[in-house]
Amino acid sequence: MTNILAPGTVERHLRARRDTGRGLLMPYVTGGVTPGWTRYLHAFAEAGADAIEVGLPFSDPTLDGVTIQQASETALARGASTRRILADLAEAGEPHVPLVASTYYNLVLHDGPAAFCAALRRAGVSGLIVPDLPVHEADELTDVAAAAGVDLALLAAPSTPQPRLEEISRRSRGFVYAVSLMGTTGERAALPASAADLAARLRSSTDLPVLLGFGISTPDQVREARRHCDGVVVGAAVMRRVLDGAGPDDLRAFLATLRRALDQE
């Protein structure tokens, strides 16, 4: 049975690690993408992940690039659903780092925010990302998630004006997800110049950990990102390998290279 983590686990865990000077690593996996997919969670933790993002696949994503879309389609074709994924997590047990669910607001509304957040907690999930939920419409879910002990992390983009950025910083829990560019998820050849500016603006607005995502896939990109923010989210690079047949051991080795890059900064 899954051990239910205390409320605020994501924020306390990431703050504690950040405050020792550690760069934070949060890899992503699409729930239900393969048989035995929860084995990836333990491999990620063994590779040095500080938190793990678990995608709850949705049939009509707006922010995901080709790789994550393909992973979601694969999972849905296998019969994945929010309930089945959470049941898998509850059965698999904690990987000893916080789990952060990510999905679109349609799935939250399907059961209602209170029931949705309660189900996350029962499965041992202590964080939530909802990329299509703007901060000015987040009141209900923010309150419900907090009451359930789920840290709702909000997203900030390079185009976000400073007053809105400060509101996102105030309202976010756990961490702030800094989107490196205006676009969808996916691997890219270089870290966009907009990432450094956004990270600097966020770090002047909040003491929460700032994690940078979208397009980070190589040790060099991780090292560059670490100069500007507290850590990185790595999604498409992980899922491309999973879709190509990589198993938990392969992903453990890949993430270990990113962990070493973070530790070198």
What distance in Å separates the CA atoms of residue 8 and residue 139, rounded to the nearest whole number?
18
C-alpha atoms less than 13 angstroms from C-alpha of 35 in its C-beta half-sphere: 0
Token code pair at residue 119: 């189900």
**Three-state DSSP state, 125:** coil
**Cα 182 to chain center, whole Å?**
18
What distance in Å separates the CA atoms of residue 215 and residue 239, rounded to the nearest whole number?
12
Closest CA relative to residue 26, chosen from 214, 201, 206: 214
Q: Is 64 assigned a catalytic role? A: yes
Give me the catalytic one of 11, 64, 167, 187. Answer: 64
Which residues have C-beta within 8 Å of that of residue 79, sequence separation ≥ 6? 32
Residue 90, H or E segment: helix 82-92
Burial (Cβ within 10 Å: 0-12, 13-18, ≥19) of residue 73: middle
Q: Is 244 assigned a catalytic role? A: no
Give me the catalytic one of 53, 88, 151, 230. Answer: 53
Residues with a catalytic annotation lie at 53, 64
